[in-house]
Amino acid sequence: MVKISELTNEATPVEADLVAIVDDGTTTTKKATLGAVLAAYNAKTATMTNKTLTSPTLTTPALGTPASGVLTNCTGLPMGGLSTTGSASSSTYLRGDGAWSTVDSSPLTTKGDIYVYGTGNTRLPAGTNGYYLKADSTAATGLVWAEVVTGGGAHTTQDWTVQSSAPSDPSAGTGVMYVKTIDSNNEGLFVKMKKNGSIVEVQVG
């Protein structure tokens, strides 16, 4: 057996170098090439189970399917790796159900336009000054611009055709105003309306 009396550092060891191995169980000193020692080490550590690694750097690892993990600080997530339907592009977005959908382009073109919906996204142009937006189920979008009807304010002149007799009774829920001849010297303004369940004629002027 060769007695090792002095050890020196080898600056650039190679796989063919011989190294001394001391078996702790038998205190037997053995020799092996550095390459053989590395091969044995790599074979032993090729499969690791329940090992804790602190901040390791993995170079192109094939991780398979991890049982769990937190990807909060991960970057470079490939979109192609997600389970989705449809096609990803610069004009699509990923919905919560995993489907790629196209972003609707706005139909608005002019100041005052309103974004509404009929059978699809639609532009409702601004109405006439002073008009208000009114619900209308007969309109394509369910909305129309309507004129504001106000009471009071300035009065307009109403021309009445003098009648020789009262007109027919108005239909249910309505009334009628008219001017009727009273006698050769007098005319009167009358209203026909429902009162106490019956149509009555009332002179108002």
* pLDDT exceeds cutoff 70 at 9: no
Lowest mean pLDDT among 75-89, 119-133, 181-195: 75-89
* Distance, first Cα to last Cα, the chain: 143
Check residue 1 and give its pLDDT.
Answer: 46
The answer to whether 118 and 107 are in contact (CB under 8 A) is no
Check residue 138 and give its pLDDT.
Answer: 92
Name the pTM for this structure: 0.32
| Alpha-carbon gap, residue 175 to 194, rounded angstroms | 7
Q: In the structure, what pLDDT confidence band is assigned to residue 144 with cuts at 50, 70 and 90?
A: very high
Lowest mean pLDDT among 6-15, 83-92, 109-118: 6-15
Residue 131 CB contacts under 8 Å (≥ 6 apart), including other chains: 145, 146, 147, 148
b/e per residue 139-170 (b: at least 16 CB within 10 A)? eeeebbbeeeeeeeeeeeeeeeeeeeeeeeee
Each residue's pLDDT tens digit, 11-46? 777 777 766 676 666 666 777 777 787 777 777 766
Each residue's pLDDT tens digit, 46-77? 666 677 778 888 888 887 888 888 877 777 76
Check residue 8 and give its pLDDT.
Answer: 66
Q: In the structure, what pLDDT confidence band is assigned to residue 95 with cuts at 50, 70 and 90?
A: confident
Each residue's pLDDT tens digit, 160-199? 788 888 888 888 778 888 888 888 888 888 888 888 888 8
**Domain segments of the chain: what residues?**
13-47, 101-148, 162-203
Q: Judging by beta carbons within 10 Å of its beta carbon (0-12, 13-18, 19+), is residue 33 exposed, middle or buried?
A: middle
| Alpha-carbon gap, residue 161 to 170, rounded angstroms | 18
Check residue 23 and give its pLDDT.
Answer: 67
Check residue 149 and give its pLDDT.
Answer: 76
